Amino acid sequence: MWIPISDAPIACFLHFEVAAESGDWIVVDKGAPLIVHPSNGKKEPNLLEGVEALLSYEITNGAALSLVNRLDRETSGLTLVAKNKAAARQLGRAMQRRLVHKEYLAIVRGWPEWTETTCTAPVLRQGDVAESRIWVKQAVHPAGKECCTVFRVEQAWSTSHGPLALVRCIPETGRMHQIRVHLAHLGHPILGDKIYGPSEECYLDYIQHGWSRELEEKLILPRHALHACRLGFPFDEQMFTAEAPLPEDMRRLLDAGGQKDSVR
């Protein structure tokens, strides 16, 4: 049974900062939760409209914005936007050829037994092989598409919410929810993840009733603790790199722990 999503507005943090820019592209550090472009016919604030407002003068003079990479609503961090069709084609080809380097930081539950590992478990939409009430939910399955993510533990610490770890995530492929699915598969779901965390009931409760004290007790954070922190890409035979610091909500968790270990 599919659960319909309410028509009521979903929580939104309309904030972004410019991380790097040229005459042909701009990289912005997106807040969360915030969608990158309009979806499902709903009228709500989104990142693309915000960037269009920022670049209104350039748009008046012929700029045509195009998103090169996309982040989930609840994922914060770096998004690359082309300013014209030629740049969109060039950057799009770089994405297709896997020449764009992306790194994320995630706060996960538990202390991984590994310092670094690579997950190559294939992923597909769960509803294609098993029952799920969440259309977008993905799952590890032998019939899934090729999928590869490198994980590296940056720090582990104790908190009142239990042991947590900061993990650097480097996806070598670009499947939907890839990092979230792989971390859950490894036994360390991302803190605050409504779909791949304690139970998918968290997601269903949230889209029907919004954030609640009960959800806070289960998830701790009102969004999943995943941040796109580094983005490298080629353009006009040069390599460019942008970085974005951890957002405040993730930084607070990092600073609030007890005993801490660096890379183990």
185 near 121, Cβ under 8 Å? yes
pLDDT, tens digit only, all 264 positions of the chain:
233 334 444 566 678 999 999 999 999 999 999 999 877 666 788 999 999 999 999 999 999 999 999 999 999 999 999 999 999 999 999 999 999 999 999 999 999 999 999 999 999 999 999 888 899 999 999 999 999 999 999 999 999 889 999 999 999 999 999 999 999 999 999 999 999 999 989 999 998 999 999 999 999 999 999 999 999 999 999 999 999 999 999 999 988 765 555 544
Cα distance between residue 102 and residue 12, in whole Å = 24
Amino acid 261: pLDDT:
57
Total domain count, the chain: 1
Record the pTM.
0.91
29 near 76, Cβ under 8 Å? yes
Amino acid 131: pLDDT:
86
Q: Spell out the alpha helix ranges (H) of the chain.
A: 47-54, 56-60, 85-96, 178-185, 201-209, 213-219, 248-255
Amino acid 5: pLDDT:
38
Cα distance between residue 249 and residue 236, in whole Å = 36
Structure tokens at 23: 């005459």
Q: Which range of residues forms the domain containing residue 25?
A: 16-261
**Cα dihedral sign, 101-105-109-112:** positive
2, part of any domain: no
229 near 243, Cβ under 8 Å? yes
Amino acid 43: pLDDT:
76
Could you tell me the CATH number of the domain that includes residue 115? 3.30.2350.10
Residue labelled with tokens 């936007």: 81
Q: What are the CA-CA distances from residue 23 to residues 63, 67, 99, 180 (Å)?
A: 10, 15, 21, 34
225 near 76, Cβ under 8 Å? no
Verify whether residue 128 is a known catalytic residue.
no
11, part of any domain: no
Q: Is 86 helix (H, G, I), strand (E, B) or coil?
A: helix
7, part of any domain: no
Instruction: Please identify which of the residues 72, 193, 205, 249 carries the catalytic annotation.
Output: 72
70 near 80, Cβ under 8 Å? no
9, part of any domain: no
- CB count in 10 Å sphere of residue 217: 9
What does the chain come to in residues? Answer: 264
Range 163-177 burial, b when 16+ CB lie within 10 A, else e: bbbbbbbbbeeebeb
Amino acid 167: pLDDT:
98
Beta-carbon contacts of 112 under 8 Å, excluding residues fewer than 6 positions away, are: 151, 153, 156, 165, 167, 186, 188
Amino acid 4: pLDDT:
36
78, part of any domain: yes
Amino acid 252: pLDDT:
93
Q: Spell out the alpha helix ranges (H) of 156-247.
A: 178-185, 201-209, 213-219
Cα distance between residue 32 and residue 75, in whole Å = 6
1, part of any domain: no
Cα distance between residue 102 and residue 99, in whole Å = 10
**What count of Cα atoms within 13 Å lies in the side-chain half-sphere of residue 200?**
13
